Amino acid sequence: MNDSIINETLKNFAIDLNRLIFESIFHSFSELIKAIWLYPVTRTLIISLIISGIIGCIISNATYGLSRLSGKSVRSSKKAARLLSGIYDLFGSLSDLFKK
């Protein structure tokens, strides 16, 4: 009987400790996100990264699909250079857009 009380107490303590750790980590993470989102520069950078990632996925999938359809190999270095130049242009235009 004594062992069951000790086991139950330890179990409740472990559950409370896990809950406390999870809540503190979640609270810290949410405060970090709020702090990052308050600054326009970081907000613009995050939005630009998301948009450029989406565009990059679309371009790479389209390039791969076209190469499979044509049966020819794609020159990846030229495509990558074009993609990077487009991403840099996108960063510039998005930062100008959010500055206004």
Give pLDDT tens digits along the chain (100 positions).
577 877 888 888 888 888 888 888 888 888 888 877 787 777 788 888 888 778 877 777 766 666 666 655 555 556 666 666 676 666 666 566 655 5
| Residue 75: per-residue pLDDT | 58
Predicted TM-score (pTM) above 0.75: no
- Give the domain ranges of the chain: 1-38, 40-100
- Quote the CA–CA distance of 5 and 82 in Å, as a whole number: 68
H-helix segments, the chain: 2-38, 40-70, 76-99
